[in-house]
């Protein structure tokens, strides 16, 4: 959940292994400040978020591209997902719901983004499903 005064969806490209210094709400902080002691410094998603960001338009909400999910729970979760998924993961920061940003509206915006992600991963077939090349 991205906290901001302006409604913005943020597409994250990579997760980082080191630099974790803050404890989460349960008091956990990764050993030596990194997700995985022997893991690579950074892992990129196989989804090209920059291309995705350039190719989509969602009326009524800004969409941004980022290469830094922050060194807290979001980046930790993204990095470990990318590591164990061999780069096949995506992370999207979403703004909090409000009177102006309803769950319906945010759901439709995320649907547009997810469909564009699927297009990167494969082609649409006659029945509407996407398959890998």
Active site residues: 12, 74, 93
Contact 12, 78 (CB under 8 A): yes
Instruction: Give Rg (Cα) of the chain.
Output: 16
Q: How far apart are CA 40 and CA 100, in angstroms?
A: 41
Q: Is the dihedral of CA 82, 109, 53, 24 positive or negative?
A: negative
Q: How far apart are CA 66 and CA 130, in angstroms?
A: 26
């Amino acid at each position: 959940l991205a906290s901001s005064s302006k409604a913005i969806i943020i597409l994250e490209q990579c997760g980082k292994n080191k630099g974790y210094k803050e404890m989460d709400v349960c008091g956990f902080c990764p050993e030596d400040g990194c997700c995985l002691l022997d893991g690579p410094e950074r892992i990129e998603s196989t989804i090209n978020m920059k291309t995705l960001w350039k190719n989509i338009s969602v009326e009524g909400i800004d969409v941004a591209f980022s290469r830094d999910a922050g060194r807290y729970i979001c980046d930790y979760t993204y990095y470990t997902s990318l590591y164990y998924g061999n780069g096949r993961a995506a992370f999207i920061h979403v703004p909090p719901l409000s009177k102006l940003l309803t769950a319906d509206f945010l759901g439709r915006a995320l649907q547009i983004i997810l469909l564009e992600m699927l297009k990167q991963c494969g082609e649409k077939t006659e029945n509407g499903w996407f398959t890998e090349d």
